[in-house]
Amino acid sequence: METRNLQEVEQAIRTGGVQRVMLDNFDPLSLRKAVEFIGRRFETEASGGITLATARTIAETGVDYISVGALTHSAPALDLSLKAI
């Protein structure tokens, strides 16, 4: 379940039936609070605005997974042709 703030995290926990709580666009302090509040009852994943430069700080909050969109958003395209000449 995707959450955008601590109130939505609380709602996700009360609702139940989820395997992972996605913490979208949380700052590191809020991530740490959410991880502590969830208390290993569900997997946690941080996403939104995370770069390779900020990944370590995010990891130190205790989340289980980190989504780094920069890995795919800025990957260069490669034009391949399978035509035999």
Residue 48: the pLDDT is 93
Residue 45 phi, psi (nearest 5): -140, 125
- Looking at the chain, the whole-number percentage of residues with pLDDT higher than 70 is 92
Spacing of C-alpha 59 from chain mean position = 10
pLDDT digits (tens, 9 = 90+) for 25-84: 999 999 999 999 999 999 999 999 898 899 999 999 999 999 987 666 666 777 777 777
Domains assigned to the chain: 2-72 (3.20.20.70)
Confidence check: pLDDT of 7 > 70? yes
Residue 58: the pLDDT is 97
Pairing between strand 65-66 and 43-47? parallel
47: helix, coil or strand?
Answer: strand
E strand or H helix at 20, and its extent? strand 20-24
pTM: 0.80
What is the mean predicted confidence (pLDDT) over 5-9? 96
